[in-house]
Structure formats: C-alpha cells, structure tokens
Structure 1
Amino acid sequence: MTQSKLIDKLSNKTATIGIVGLGYVGLPLVLRYCEVGYRVIGFDVDQSKVSALLEGKSYIEHIGSDKIARFVGSSLQPTSDLSRVKEVDALIFCVPTPLGRHREPDLSFVVGTIESVAPYLHPGMVLSLESTTYPGTTDEELKPRIEALGFVVGKDIFLVFSPEREDPGNPMFSTQTIPKVCGGCTKECLQAGIALYDKVVDTIVPVSSTRAAELTKLLENIHRAVNIGLVNEMKVVADRMNIDLHEVIRAAATKPFGFVPYYPGPGIGGHCIPIDPFYLTWKAREFGVHTRFIELAGEVNSSMPDYVVSKIVDGLNSRKKAVSGSRILILGLAYKKNVDDSRESPSVVIMERLRDLGAQISYADPHIPAFPVMRAHRFSLSSVALTEESISSFDCVVLATDHDRFDYDLIRTNARLLVDCRGRFAEGAPNIVRA
C-alpha cells in the first residue's frame, strides 16, 4: 500500500489502529480512537489487563468502566496476541521507558516490543513511538530494526516519534485537547504521522525530525523537574529562616508576568519527571556535555524524602519519642493528588526509610486500597480507614499526598503529631510540623 492510500484510510477512518501498551498512556488513546470511529486493536502482555477490558472493566481510576464497555466487542478488541499486528495499518507504542539501577536508560521494553512485532510488520504501515526517551532512539533503535527486515523507511513503512503528554486525573485537558508534537524520519513519514493523529487531536505540532520531537518532550519535563528542584531547595531555606514558603509563593504568583508558581513536596514521582531528565544527561555524555544544572535539580529532588524523614524524627524527638517503635501513618501513596498512580512515588521511599529506622508503617489512600505490586518496593499493606480513633492511635501522621478526598479537619483535630509535606495546614498549631 502506498503512502497516499495509507493517508486516505487514516483520513476516512477505515484504517485499523494498533496500540501496544494499555496503561495510563495507551488506554486513553485507545478510547479516543474508538470515540471518533476507528477500529482499534489494543495489545498488552499483561493478560489481567486484557481480561479486564474484555469484561468491560477499567483498571485505571479516572477512566470509567462505562467507557470501556461502550466499545469492547465492537470497535475495540483487546488482545495479548501480537501476531494480530498483521491486521493493523498503524501501530503506536506506549510502553515503559524506566531507568536502570545506575540511572541509565532502560529501552528493553521498546526494543523488546519492536522485535516481537517485527515478523508481523508489512508495507503501508505507519509506526509511532510515544514512549519518552533520549534523542536518537527512533532512528538508532527502531529504524535499523525495521530496515533489517528489508523495508525502506519513508517508502514501505513510515516511522514517527510523537511523545505522549497525558496528565492523569487532570480534568482541564484530555487526549483530544492536548496539542500533539510529531516528528518523522522523512517528510513522507511526517505526513503519515500527521494523518495518524489528525482525527483524534485538535492540534498537531509538526517538527523537523524525530530527534527534535524526542528532545521536545524531555525539555518539557526537565523544565518542571528543575523548577520543582528550585522550590524544594527554597523550602529548606525558608524553613531555616522560619518563613512560610507557601505564603511566599502565593504572593509571588500575583506578579502577572515572569513568574510561574511551582510548589514544594516530599519529592517527585510519576512516570516522567523523576526519570526523563536522566535520559538526556545520559545521552549528553556521548557528545561530551555534562548537564550540571539538570543533575543538580535531580539531586535536590531525590534528597527530599530524607528531608521529610529528618523532620519526622525531629518532631518525634521533641515529644520524647524515638522513631524506632513509633506507629507512623502516611497519608497518600499516589505520586500526586487525586490519582491512583504510585509509580516513583516519594511516599514509598519515605515509608521504606522509616521502616528501616524501625518504625511501624501504615498508609491511607482513598485511591489505592491495597499496596500495589512494584518492581523495587514491597509492603503487605492495605489502606487504613481514617476515623478519630485510627488517626489518634498513631504517634505521627505524615501528609505526603494531599488528596481532595481526605477530611483535613478530622486529620488536624485528631493527629498527635502531623507532618505536613504539602502546605495544606496553617502553621502555628502545636501538633503541626511543616516538611
């Protein structure tokens, strides 16, 4: 199939779309393609996700099961059978790109996926990588593997990079309304990529290459990481000076130009901000560049859980209580408010630090009823119900993630010691410590 025929099929919605990876990025994209009338095959190696979708059930809190049930059996076909890639006209990769033990890029999911689908690729397809990665991944890792099969990229198969920009739980923006950056290996690839996304997003932002698109996503997240690092460092300074940084931020935010408010916390979490800067620092070394500014921000943000633990220890000591043997309740396991995503959450790091010091750890999170399975962290815990009796039974309560569903009056009134990492409580009460 020629490029023009592929674009025609994408434009008139007769193309079949394949999406690999049905998590926080892939599943919203699947539903968006279904909404506008495409036939979609959703691929995931996790059979539990496939089974849930086949039953019309969602496993992501902010995505209702009714949305799944609406399309399953008609336009949506979930499967773990990668041989069905031969049925699709477009294939979008939404797989993880974590860091290794030494903060080096781990492309095993990307490489493993392209190698697994390789036998089923065929001429007239457009392939899009959405996973955040370092500049050069698309044309250094994917393109050679496709060409090794005898295909010509830009003629037989069209390859693009279009970074995901999902913000789970944000009601202000959706897959449709968030502008879509897209870069192709060739101009023909870019044209196919634009056609791929044209019917599902309101605005497409074409760039000159896949590398430009890859660096765009890194810049977006590094911008956030650096500014969060700055405000986290300011938090420590303000605390030593006995100044309320949240008051300072509110005042600074009244300036109508030149200032964007960022807020301190116990660290950074999620699938992007803690990880993406290190993809660039790693790749920059290949060009003899040491990204000192980015790495410093990463060090500051990585140190925040230890800072929080030190404030907990100080607070307990002031009450003549050792951290060893203390019962400590962590409020909020998710990495940010109002979501059920605990990936890279600083709450988990704080829990581990306190456990290593001998504390008895519990957590409460209305979005995460049981501690999830994680590759690097293990707790056999379930979320504690918050009552007057349960809260007052703990030696220390730590507000790590400020979910709207928490009853803050109940918490403030009944906590013996309340360590506030989010600036949710006014200072001055004898049981409140800012962290």
Structure 2
Amino acid sequence: MPQKLFGTDGVRGRANSWPMTAEMALKLGEAAGRYFRRDKQDHRVVIGKDTRLSGYMIENALTAGFTSTGMNVFLLGPMPTPAIGYLTHGLRADVGVMISASHNPASDNGIKFFGPDGFKLSDEAEAGIEALMSEGVAPTAPENIGRAKRFEDARGRYVEYAKTTFPSRRRLDGLRIVVDCANGAAYKTAPAVLWELGAEVIALGVEPDGTNINQNCGSTQPAAAVRKVIETRADIGICLDGDADRVVLIDEKGQVADGDQIMGLIASRWAEGGRLAGNTLVATVMSNLGLERFLNDRGIDLKRTSVGDRYVVEEMRSGDHNLGGEQSGHIVMTDYATTGDGLIGALQFLACMVETGRKASDLARVFEPVPQKLINVRYEPGKAPLEAAPVQDAIAEAEKTLGRDGRLLIRKSGTEPLIRVMAEAVDPALLDRVLNTVVTAVERESRA
C-alpha cells in the first residue's frame, strides 16, 4: 500500500474517504481472511459494529471480502468493542472485527481486529495483513465460498457474562444509576446489565439514529449526564463512549471522575485484597503525576506505556499484570476482558460502593491531581509541525523551565490529524505559561 493503513487502534478515517471506503473494506476483509485461515474445516469470523450509518456499508464490504476467502461470517450487530473480544474467543472464531470509530463523530468510522485469543492484533499481524493487501489475494474456489448469517444470541451472551464480573451474592438494589450510552454500541446492553443486577436505571443516549453517536453525550461530553444525576438525585452516573470501551463516572454531587481516579481506586482495593498481580498498575504516559504519587505511597508500582490501550495490554501480558488503562477511561482488567470495557469497569466501582456502603463522592477522588492541561492542535495535511525547528526550540525551553516541578508530553494522534500538547505542573501559572508557549509554536507551524 502507498500509505500505512493501520494506526494506533486499527484502521480509522472519515467514512467514504480513504481508507474507510467500501472498496478498502472489501480488500481488508480478503487480506484478513487469508491471513487468519487455519488448517481446519470451519473458518469463522465474528463482526460487530456500533450505531454509525456507515457501519452497514463497511459491514457488507467486509463480509464480501471474508466470504470470498472461505470464511464463515457471524454478524453480531451493534455490540460493545469488549464484547467482540469476548465472543471471538468464546465462539472459537479465527478473527473478530469491530466496526467503530470509538469516541469520534458519526462521520468517521474504523475497523479493529481481534485475534482468536480475543486480544487486539500485534503490530506484526497488522503488517502481515497490509502486506497481503499489497500482494493481492486470490479468491477461493466457488464451492468453498463462506456463508454469512446473523448471530441472534450475541447480546444475551455478553449481558450474562458482564453480570458474572460483579461480586457473587451482591446486588445493586436501592441504587439509582444514570447511564449514558452515547447513542452507541451499548445502548441496549449496559442498561440491561444494570437493571438485571437490581438498579433503578435512568438511561440516556439510547436512541441512535445513525448520525447522533457521541453527539453531546457520552464519556467525552458528560454534561447532560451530570445534569440528569443532579436532577434525579441519582447515586452515580456512568458515561460510556460510542463503542463502550471507555467510561467516566459522575458522583452524586455531579463531579466527574476520569480513568485515573477509577484505576487508582480499583488498584488500591485490589492491592488490599491481594488481587493486584505484581502489585502493579499499567497506565500510559498521559496518566496524571498525582496517580503515580498516590500509588507509590501505597507501595504500588506504576508502569507507563505509549498512548493506546493496545500498548497497555501488551505490557500487561508481558509482565503478567491484571489491571491497566488510560486516563481517558479505558479500564483493562484481564481477569475479565481482553480490552478496555467501560461497563465492567463501572461495575467494579459499583462493587466498591456496595461492599463499603460509601457514596460515590467518597470513592471517586482517591488522589489530588497535579494540575494538567491538554490542548489539541489540528494540522493541515502534509504539514509536520513537530519537525519544525521553532517547535523543537519551544519544547526544549519548556522542559527546561518545568524541571522537576512538572512534565511535558507532545505527540501526534494516531487516529486524527492532531498534535496533542499535554503539560503538568504543580504551579498552575507556570503550567499555563509553558503550555501556551508550546501551543503557539505548534499552531504557527501547523498552518504555515
């Protein structure tokens, strides 16, 4: 391929534009089908999606590509990303596919792959698929073309499994819970799980129309859920993103808790109970310095990775750790799931509430964050602002100014044409000054 297809989380882009076209999805299905065929009679792939209008187009194109190589396709319909990982392994499929652009707007879409073990693909596997796309894939003989069918039991299987991750003989009776499903993939599963565990459920973002996913709702825009928690006097609010692999929580006072706070609580609770493997939490370079200090004060190690839940999972698997995640709300618990699972992460928080009898506000802020700000700068195609000398000079000067009193992290987004500029500093005034200097330099080179 003339351009690299896979980013930090599969293939992603604007629907009906490269690489998210029907033609590309067809070729991707052909290459992935050929790559994952095993020496057996029944070659299986499971395909799930979120609620984007373009999901129909991409689903059909992928199905054509897979069946042309002899793979039998199970179509699961709208399902959370973690459910695809779970069902890929549970149904003994050769490969799983999730069609979603996660927290991105409805005009975008993406394709994520899971291997037969239910985990996202390695860089090597993605490179192998891209190589096959470049070489071209010969279709199978007519008598070996695969079949495609709807798998009607998928949602029920995941709902029942999610409930098993909640402590046995515990219930959510008496709790009023607002859950915002972002008009996305979990619009049926999340309310069902919470209700079946006994909660009074107030559901938001459960009327997808193909174009409203993540629109003024969900984990990236929790304001509506905050208002509903206050209005209904709910005990807690749960905000998922479009494919439900992220979560942020809202306490009964309307305060939002991000992934760092949730991970901090779960890590400390698991460590106290002897459940935290290696006494270590795996997080990314974006996690707050306050989290690191909180953990270290309790004798818990923090390992940092590059941004992206797949890199967190890779470190967890290589180090035999069972808890990790991202500040954005990916909570990865390999005791329960192969990737971030927003609903199961929320259930672990709810378990803490039920077992301790404490309010969400008592549990949702386990550490005081070091002041941190993130600014996204969009750059024009063909620009490389981070390579410009003025930007490099500004970064060097900022790091010198911060010294040991802060941290600077600058990186390109793997899914959008954005430069993410993040800074932390104990002194808020210093933070603003350093951040503004670097952002101004990046903005100037992004449109020059």
Whichever of the two has the greater Rg, that structure is 1
Q: Would you say same fold, with TM above 0.5?
A: no
Higher-RCO chain (CA-CA 8 Å, sequence separation at least 6): 2
Q: Greater strand share, 1 or 2?
A: 2
Q: Return the TM-score normalized by structure 1.
A: 0.27
